[in-house]
Structure 1
């Protein structure tokens, strides 16, 4: 699939790869991909390359985003600003660089693990000039302020925020999607039941809170699969991700 590197800021980590279909009869949706990896520079956008290529093969544009991470110029202020800037770029930078016409009114955001936290968080940024038409969370770390989250991921979260939960609980809540509902953006949360890194309870709690706040939210639990099943194209998690991103109405029916 054709791939174009686009810088959305001056820092070396502020860029993304735009994958496009080989041909398009009209404007195509844009899917923004946010990789996971504990918000750390140890992980890169190549985690989402296979999914980006597959989406372009299926007829949509995929915007695979890198962003400043802990150890690569990032902390919460920089990381969150980059995600918002990358989303805004779908209406400014990408249309001029894309070899096929893009539909700026249909931007879908998908993220895995820490990337899912960023995806659902940015959906709550109502002042952003681009509002997603849907968000797909894969094994999302959607509550950074719970005792379970701060206990199991405490070191990664302290590195991201530069402060402990005990010293600034409001900062943790402000970054936690579960504390930002309603977003007004339809959301599908997918989660492997065997996930031990981010338990499925995180997605269950988020969907319950989102629905209670009036958002349209669906939960798809995948028995027998774990956290990294979303990176393996042979899994049920992978197939359901494509359904959630590309399906006409993924919020109805049973998966």
Structure 2
């Protein structure tokens, strides 16, 4: 599948890969921005989301698979969050001029896996963004960074990401945590494997409860028998549900069977 590298900023990690539908289109197509996970670390790259980006473009949407500054590659919370905002803004900025296919800027969707889900929900909640997503899909999302740091389940990685321990900057952790940012005003679907031991499904369930109580439209789909990385495997139930959540007209009205 042909791809186009697009720089959305001057830093080496500020780029993404744009995949366009190969079939002829006459109407503007939706845009899906993909945010990969990997503990916000430079050990992981946007190739984690490449297969999903290609599949989405085959199904008729434009896929914008973004890289961003991460810990070990010029990143930390300040730089990483700024990059995700800039990557989303690029959908209405640089991308339309580079795409031979018209893009529907009123129909932008964001999907993120694990740490990428935290970033996807965070940027969806930035109400002054130039581009407001139509929906956000969180795969195995890290929803409460404060709780994870306080419980020491990811303390070292989070301290490196924020540049401070949770004990010294609890508000910083909370401000970045999706569960504390509701309502975001953007419909969300949270998908989580029941066998996930890296980020337990209870994290997405708690986000669903908090978001719904705050008035957001939100669904939580728990996937029996699958874990954290099944989202990366084509043909898994988590993969198929992600496509449904991103492409169905109304994934909130009919829970998966």
Question: Shorter-chain TM-score category?
Answer: over 0.9
SS at the partner of 1:90? helix
State the distance in 1 between where 2:225 and 2:125 align.
31
Q: Unpaired runs of 5+ in structure 2?
A: none
SS at the partner of 1:31? strand
Structure 1 length as normaliser, TM-score? 0.98
Could you say which residue in structure 2 is the equivalent of 1:96? Answer: 97
Structure 2 contact 149–166 (Cα < 8 Å) conserved: no
State the distance in 2 between where 1:14 and 1:51 align.
20
SS at the partner of 2:105? strand
Q: CA deviation at 1:149?
A: 6.3
State the distance in 1 between where 2:102 and 2:234 align.
28
State the distance in 2 between where 1:171 and 1:232 align.
34
Could you say which residue in structure 2 is the equivalent of 1:42? Answer: 43
Q: Unpaired runs of 5+ in structure 1?
A: none
Could you say which residue in structure 2 is the equivalent of 1:84? Answer: 85
Matched, 1:8 2:8: yes
State the distance in 1 between where 2:3 and 2:151 align.
38
State the distance in 1 between where 2:21 and 2:255 align.
30
Structure 2 contact 148–154 (Cα < 8 Å) conserved: no
State the distance in 2 between where 1:63 and 1:184 align.
22
Could you say which residue in structure 1 is the equivalent of 2:20? Answer: 20
Matched, 1:142 2:133: no
- Rate the CA distance shift 1:125–1:25 in 2: closer, same or farther, 3 A: same
CA-to-aligned-CA distance 1:74-107 (integer Å, 9 cap, x gap): 0000000000000000001000011211001111
State the distance in 1 between where 2:9 and 2:165 align.
29
Q: CA deviation at 1:254?
A: 2.0
State the distance in 2 between where 1:7 and 1:150 align.
38
State the distance in 1 between where 2:27 and 2:255 align.
31
Structure 2 contact 6–15 (Cα < 8 Å) conserved: yes
Q: How many residue pairs were aligned? A: 255
Could you say which residue in structure 2 is the equivalent of 1:178? Answer: 179
Structure 2 contact 150–166 (Cα < 8 Å) conserved: no
| Residues 145-224 of structure 1 mapped to structure 2, 5 A cutoff | 145-146=146-147, 150-224=151-225
What is the alpha-carbon root mean square deviation over aligned residues?
A: 0.9
Superposition misfits of 4+ residues, deviation over 2 angstroms = 147-150
Could you say which residue in structure 1 is the equivalent of 2:242? Answer: 241
Structure 1 contact 2–19 (Cα < 8 Å) conserved: yes
- Rate the CA distance shift 1:182–1:142 in 2: closer, same or farther, 3 A: same
State the distance in 2 between where 1:29 and 1:170 align.
36
Q: CA deviation at 1:2?
A: 2.7
Structure 2 length as normaliser, TM-score? 0.98
